[in-house]
Amino acid sequence: MTEVVLAAPPARTARRRLSRDDAVMAAGLVLLAVWLAVTVALPLWTLLSKSFQDHSGGFVGLANFATYFASPALSRSLWNSLWVAALTAAVVTPLAFVYAYALTRSCMPAKPLFRLLALIPVLAPSLLPGISFIYLFGNQGFLKGLLFGNTIYGPIGIVLAEAYYCFPHALIILVTALAMADSRLYEAATVLGASRPRILLTVTLPGVKYGAISAFFVVFTLVVTDFGIPKVIGGQFNVLATDVYKQVVGQQNFVMGAVVGMVLLAPALLAFVVDRLVQGRQVAQLTARAVPLEPRPKLRFDLAMLLYCAVVGGVILAVLLVAVFASFIKYWPYNLAPTVAHYDFSNADASGWSSYWNSLEMAAFTAVFGTAIVFCGAWILEKSRVLPPLRAAVQFMAMLPLAVPGLVLGLSYIFFFNARENPLGFLYGTLAILVINSIAHFYTVSHLTATTALKQLDAEFEAVSASLKVPILRTFARITVPVCLPAILDIAMYLFLNAMTTVSALIFLYSTDTKVASIAVVNMEDAGNTAAAAAMATMIVITSVGVKLVQSGLAALVDRHTQAWRRH
């Protein structure tokens, strides 16, 4: 008792000094919690709670889960999902790591080009790699022989296409993780005579552990929940995500669909737990005294990195080009004569151009508002120490969207936003709901990128600011945002590109006036018009590349103005 009393006065002064900042942070945290509850948790609950009900809505406890787990088809899908996802993550993470390493730690030429190449898979609707892989490895494919008699329609195709599709998602996290490093550590290691591999193991890897594990889990969860690729190229190989589709769309069985949806949340829960475990051990890379690492030219290393990136980037580009090629030929595989007829959308889709503009508008809003919300949110979570239980809840809600298939998210939004008693009902059928849905859908990777960037900033910045009585918001505006601008631009780009190409959730939310281009692509493909679908998808890619180039220019400008400290 006495000790507590004695210790109290200094503690109280400290608390008083921080209290206004704490209040700001607490308010921000509450707002973020409300936002995530309204756009993620509550909508999901409206659908997933059906897993505890019978068809007429009565409560049945876990009976549906019992029924579901008793069927052998499920355990097979569950197992299929897990091993395919783990294999893809195990392949993609190291591939992306080396690529990210080359982009951040080498002096190879043409880095912006390689950055752009690596982003191609998110520039294109996921249908595109599906089409390409079938043209390459299908029964009529050019490279069919490479599969040694195995079929592309099944796990091989899924892993290939998913690895292609997930590469940029892992890369964006790893680049952020590798971008910031304290060169003093490397100098010290070199001075102490550590060999290059040893530096890699003892300095580099521990520094990016958080990013690498995040990347692994992001890929894992993306694969588990992705439905488009298994649908196009998975053949009869069943995974959990296609089971949701089968139950809801094929058999009109919402209850079982909700059960599978719940099972799908398990990987998110796992990712969340691992994330918490790793987080505690991650130390800030960029302490206030840090001297940012500047890669120095090393001819052999740079050449090796260049070669590696050329191979990986080349493969990525080649897959895209196959699909582009598909949009320029008459009839695969019978008539390979070139034609531009498939680009005449006027007969294929009269609303073609309006849906294209809708896409642009929707993606722009998603990028602007999404980045603001995600980055401020990640900052609040990272830098505040108030209301720990709420922080944990918010953290979990931020991880959730990754584990939710678009189909589930889309239907959830109908249940939630279209309910008569919901005051937000006016959003239904507008472009705003597409924007909100896209922000929610792609929240997790953006959040992890922001967190990775923020984690590398020393808490000392805040501590010093606080002791200088600088309000925390000013520290945020004057230090945090400028330092993190590259990551912020990456997040904006990521949101923009995904919003341009996403389909599965939006299909339930678009209205006649808010039809977007990616839905036009799916409709054309459904109608058997593969070439026209590829053509429209190519238009999306061209747009995305254009926007990406603008962003790169902007990033270079920002770099010159805000990142000079990295170079002194």
| 13-16: long-range contacts, CB 8 A cutoff, minimum separation 24 | none
Find the binding residues for another protein in span 32-51 (CB under 8 A). 32, 34-35
* One-letter amino acid of 359: S
- In eight-state DSSP terms, residue 287 is -
Find the binding residues for another protein in span 383-412 (CB under 8 A). 411
Find the binding residues for another protein in span 512-551 (CB under 8 A). 512-515, 520, 523-524, 526-528, 530
Query: 412 in the Ramachandran plot: left (φ > 0), alpha (ψ -120 to 50) or beta?
Result: alpha
Q: Which of residues 68, 254, 272, 442 is near another protein by CB under 8 A?
A: 254
Closer to another protein by Cβ: residue 358 or 395: 358
**Pairwise CA distance, residues 271 & 221, whole Å:** 8
Find the binding residues for another protein in span 188-217 (CB under 8 A). none
Smallest separation (angstroms) from another protein to the CB of 276: 25
Closer to another protein by Cβ: residue 426 or 565: 426
Taking CB under 8 A as the rule, which mask of x and - marks residues 268-307 in contact with another protein? ----------------------------------------
Q: Helices 443-455 and 352-383: crossing angle, nearest 10°?
A: 40
Q: How many Cβ atoms sit within 10 Å of the Cβ of residue 484?
A: 25
Q: Does 343 bind another protein (CB under 8 A)?
A: no
**Pairwise CA distance, residues 540 & 455, whole Å:** 34
Smallest separation (angstroms) from another protein to the CB of 56: 10
Closer to another protein by Cβ: residue 106 or 132: 132
**Pairwise CA distance, residues 159 & 242, whole Å:** 15
- Length of the chain in residues, anyone? 568
Q: Name the nearest CA neighbour of 537 among 496, 500, 509, 508.
A: 500
**Pairwise CA distance, residues 377 & 391, whole Å:** 11
Find the binding residues for another protein in span 409-428 (CB under 8 A). 411, 414-415, 418-420, 425-428
Smallest separation (angstroms) from another protein to the CB of 253: 8
Instruction: Kindly indicate which of the ranges 150-158, 195-203, 292-300, 546-554 contains the residues binding another protein, using the contact rule CB under 8 A.
Output: 150-158
| Counts of helices then strands in the chain (DSSP H, E) | 26, 2
Closer to another protein by Cβ: residue 111 or 231: 231
> What end-to-end distance do the CA atoms of the chain give, in Å?
52
**Pairwise CA distance, residues 136 & 133, whole Å:** 5
Taking CB under 8 A as the rule, which mask of x and - marks residues 212-251 in contact with another protein? -------------------x--xxx-----x--xx-xxxx
Instruction: Kindly indicate which of the ranges 95-103, 182-190, 328-336, 392-400 contains the residues binding another protein, using the contact rule CB under 8 A.
Output: 328-336
Smallest separation (angstroms) from another protein to the CB of 410: 9
Number of residues lying near another protein (CB under 8 A): 76
**Pairwise CA distance, residues 500 & 364, whole Å:** 9
Find the binding residues for another protein in span 70-99 (CB under 8 A). 71-73
Closer to another protein by Cβ: residue 96 or 427: 427
Closer to another protein by Cβ: residue 2 or 252: 252
DSSP states of 238-279 = --HHHHHHIIIIIS--HHHHHHHHHHHHHHHHHHHHHHHHHH
Smallest separation (angstroms) from another protein to the CB of 509: 9
Contacts (Cβ under 8 Å, ≥6 apart) of 506: 406, 410, 434, 437, 438, 516, 518, 519
Q: Which of residues 147, 354, 369, 554 is near another protein by CB under 8 A?
A: 369
Closer to another protein by Cβ: residue 163 or 427: 427
